[in-house]
Homo-oligomer: A and B are copies of this chain.
């Protein structure tokens, strides 16, 4: 009987995206300056509302694309946040997603249009609602992920040096790693292809570039 349903409240369904990027040896998150009430002018995660004909995954994907121009991006559902008062305007349950993007590839005009900026994860400002909590959980999740499977394919440019990869891991894990042990470990995973090319920007000697072997990388996906 429909009654069983109708006595229950409905709520707005939102999606918020924690967009991770990696530049200048730092793990960063893309935040926007809100251009609408409530909390207009404050920093927040990029978000939006669920549409009648889409899943939450699709909504997250759409919202990510709206801000970055990117599609087919790594996106993972973090969890749903549901405190009755989290949004002062109306009861809204928000499902947080985290995305890993290659900073070089995103559409900078789009992010500029949304007044978006990259923040080091150590320097996240006070955000609206429960967005700081969302970020904190996303970082935790990313750390966990990095310790159990290879990561970086999504965050690094196509070709990268060992040093870049190590710096990425150090930024995610929040700790320094031994260079020799790191290389030994990452090579043992057998997901990298060493190229004949060198990156000459970082040293006189130059350092070899690597790329990920997509098939071998995917074996690790849980």
B contact residues around A12 at 8 Å (CB): 5, 8, 10
* In the complex, per-residue mask of A70-95: 1 if CB is within 8 Å of any chain B CB, else 0: 00000001011011100001111101
Candidates B1, B54, B55, B80; contact of A37 at CB < 8 Å: B1
Residue of B nearest to A140 (CB): B222
Q: Are B55 and A90 in contact (CB under 8 A)?
A: no
Residue of B nearest to A79 (CB): B77
Q: Are A84 and B1 in contact (CB under 8 A)?
A: no
Q: Are A84 and B53 in contact (CB under 8 A)?
A: yes
Segment of A44-52, A101-109, A162-170 engaged in the interface with chain B = A44-52
Q: CA of A79 to CA of B79 in the docked complex: distance in angstroms?
A: 6
Q: Are B80 and A8 in contact (CB under 8 A)?
A: no
Does A144 reach chain B (CB closer than 8 Å)? yes
Query: What is the copy number of this chain in the assembly?
Result: 2
* In the complex, per-residue mask of A119-157: 1 if CB is within 8 Å of any chain B CB, else 0: 000000000000000000000100010001000000000
B contact residues around A148 at 8 Å (CB): 148
Q: Are A5 and B53 in contact (CB under 8 A)?
A: no
Candidates B8, B51, B56, B83; contact of A93 at CB < 8 Å: B56
Q: Are B77 and A80 in contact (CB under 8 A)?
A: yes
B-facing residues in A23-54 (Cβ within 8 Å): 36-37, 49-54
Q: CA of A134 to CA of B98 in the docked complex: distance in angstroms?
A: 21
Q: Are B10 and A11 in contact (CB under 8 A)?
A: yes
Candidates B37, B55, B56, B93; contact of A13 at CB < 8 Å: B93
Candidates B4, B83, B140; contact of A55 at CB < 8 Å: B83
B contact residues around A56 at 8 Å (CB): 80, 82, 93
Q: Are A50 and B82 in contact (CB under 8 A)?
A: yes
Does A2 reach chain B (CB closer than 8 Å)? yes
Question: Can you list 22 residue pairs at the A/B interface with Cβ under 8 Å?
Answer: A1-B37, A5-B89, A5-B92, A8-B51, A9-B13, A9-B49, A9-B50, A9-B52, A10-B11, A10-B12, A10-B13, A11-B11, A13-B13, A50-B82, A50-B93, A55-B83, A77-B80, A79-B79, A79-B80, A80-B80, A140-B222, A144-B222
